[in-house]
Amino acid sequence: MAKNDKNKIFNNMKTLLNETKLEKKIVPTNEINQKEIEDIINLNLLKELTTDEKIIDLLLKSSIDIFTIQSKNVIELGKIFKNVFDELGGEGSKYVGLYEKWLILNNISKSTALRYRKRYELYNSVTLDKKNIILLLSQKYIDLIYLEENKNRIIELINKGANKKEIVELIDNQEIIIPISEKTKEFVKKFDYVPKFIKFSSEVDNKIKELDEKKKRDLQKYLKKIEELLK
């Protein structure tokens, strides 16, 4: 790639980053209120700081303001990272590696940018009245929802009326869903059994070890179903 083309790309990406303006909302959202963030920030601790009700109200409002600004900032940055990634990434792109180099220039890790992109994409996938759910969910649940086998189902549930608590409970009670950061650790620990009515040959055992983590999860799920049917 010519030097001038490379400079042009870097300059365009830098302009995108610098032009982020929080006062221009991507999509209008409902205001985040005290009830929505009380399970994230322990607001009762504010009352331990002072007995002055006026100061408590000030600190409470300011805490909510901080959370609101931070959450919306994440969405704005997610939009930037997705736009740049889509422009430079993709199969057969002539800009291979340029996205990563651009992140380094801006002192941003690839994993951090990915977290922003995930939340932004999910934020844009839900209806207007449900966007606060995406803002309020911890990154653990964003990662879980973003998994290919979960995304469409959970987005549909959110858009049909499921609230934050219901989504969290659904994920927490779903055994086959494993956080990305814990896939390998969980599967090394869990994928060590053979159903009572099935015996694997050494050749099959070796093939199982070579499967990627998604296929291992699928195999374990189907083996459990087979075992239940044969009981």
Q: What is the pLDDT of residues 61-79, one digit of tens each?
A: 888 888 888 888 999 999 9
**pLDDT tens per residue across span 78-100:** 999 999 998 887 666 777 788 88
Task: Return the pLDDT at 18.
Answer: 56
Rounded to an integer, what distance in angstroms lies between the CA atom of residue 26 and that of residue 24?
7
172-187 mean pLDDT: 51
Q: Is the pLDDT of residue 168 over 50?
A: yes
Residue 27: closest CA among 102, 96, 78, 66: 78
pLDDT at 34: 66
pLDDT beyond 80 at 195: no
Top-confidence range, 64-73, 102-111, 148-157, 220-229 = 102-111
180 is written with which tokens? 């990305």
Distance of CA 192 to the CA centre of its chain: 29
Does pLDDT of 170 surpass 70? yes
For residue 177, the number of C-alpha atoms closer than 13 Å in the C-beta half-sphere is: 22
What's the mean pLDDT in 187-204? 57
Count of CB atoms within 10 A of residue 124's CB? Answer: 15
Residue listed under structure tokens 């459990």: 224
Contact predicate 84/14, CB 8 Å: no
Whether the full predicted model's pTM is greater than 0.75, yes or no, is: no
pLDDT digits (tens, 9 = 90+) for 127-147: 998 998 999 898 889 998 998
Token match 């409902």: residue? Answer: 30
Give the alpha-carbon dihedral of 98, 99, 103, 109, to 10 degrees.
-120
∠ CA 154-183-150, nearest 5°, is 10
CA distances from 84 to 12, 56, 87, 103 (A): 9, 42, 5, 10
Rounded Cα distance, 88 and 157, in Å? 33
Q: Which residue has the tokens 């494993």?
A: 178
Confidence category of residue 11, pLDDT binned at 50, 70, 90: low
Instruction: Output the pLDDT for position 79.
Output: 95
- 78 contacts: CB under 8 Å, gap ≥ 6: 116, 117, 118, 119, 120, 121, 123
